[in-house]
Structure 1
Amino acid sequence: MNTENIIVAHASELEKATFYKKTYLHVALAILAFIVVESILIRVVPIEWIAAMVSMKYAWLFILGLFWLGSMFSEKMSFNPSRQQQYFGLGLYVILQAIIFLPMIVIAVAITNSAELITQAAIITLFMFSGLTAVVFFTRTDFSFLRTALIVGGFISLGLIVAGAIFGFNLGLWFSVGMVILASGSILYQTHQIKNQYGTQQYVGAALQLFSSVMLLFWYVLRILMSRRN
């Protein structure tokens, strides 16, 4: 078995196909693991704790801070030369996503007394992700130009989220729409990077990057659907 870390753009067709298969399989497994962990958290975490996560603004800021730090650590681990460390990073990131999503999932279920909104958001996210991925793979567009916009947009959105948490104002529907656009741009950029910049042995790290963008997209699609029911 060839374990040489060849840049995907320079790899053979078979090596490319194997890399893409492993990457998207790991994305699917990460999503499945997220569903399992989220289901467990909903059953074992007291509802009072979940309510406290969002009702106490400094508690939510603390959780966001831990999520940010944990995400950076997970990403670093997912590109570690050790395969064991790579899986540790991906697994940790799945758990972090499940924790940060917990209050929103509980609220979404409470709105309709079912998983209707979650299912709708998941379907929309899947179709958007598939369409954006197809755009990258079936066109020759260079999406590397999105990097600067994504960095600037990320810092602006983070600042607004922190300000909203501190001062208690609702960021509103248009912010969620903007974040859907940002997440879509991130998927385009990350998919382009995977095609052209990643090595054939970096499929775990590639999967984490895509999983991160998919979950960001899912978060704000769900927020938009929830706002329509309020």
Structure 2
Amino acid sequence: MKSDQELFAKGLATYQKVVAANYMAHREVHDMLRRVLLDEAADGFVFADLACGTAPRSAAALAGSNVSRYVGIDISQPSLDVAKKALAALTCPVELRCEDFVAAIDRWKGPLDVVWIGQSLHHLLAQDKVAFMRKINSLLSPGGLFLIWEPTRLEGEDRDGWMERFHQLRPDWGAISDEEFAAFESHCRASDYSETATTWIDMGRNAGFTTADELMMVPNKLARVYRFRH
């Protein structure tokens, strides 16, 4: 059997191909993130990047902003090793923590101004999503922002319907092999629990956020970005 390191390296390489080809709209999403940070984040804001991965897009979104501290959380140390290089250009202190993002937030001390999570919150079941969002809300400073980018079902669509829409993308993902696409799809079927836009927003309201709204839908209509304000 292949080692865990080999399996991780293969999966990371596939994901990096997807990012480079912009199949999941990383470019548009992080352009949106950058606009929000420049226009709405408080001066000297503390930025928590949950499930940050290798963080190149977050680094670009934060460049030239008023961020005073960056904290990246990811369960993969190899990803954090790459992230350290990607974040080196930031002028603020950078802290990288190798741990599960739920556990990290559960024991977090001190206020946060902006919390960002992309393509990871949907791994939690519905009741756990709300509990997590409630904890984030309790940590945010007044006017603080919680921004998420997550798979979103169409209204009336079930989980299998979303999966079928993802499957239909195969002809458009020419930069990866059939084996790589199958592995990506298998991960989605095993670990992804998307919600409708209405549910994502209702979850934010139930978690106590003052405002909850949708900022954008990605071009393939499989995911959206939401903003929740403390």
| TM-score under structure 1 length normalisation | 0.24
User: Whose RCO is larger (CA < 8 A, sep 6+)?
Assistant: 1
Q: Which has the higher helix share?
A: 1
Bigger Rg, structure 1 or 2:
1
| TM-score under structure 2 length normalisation | 0.24
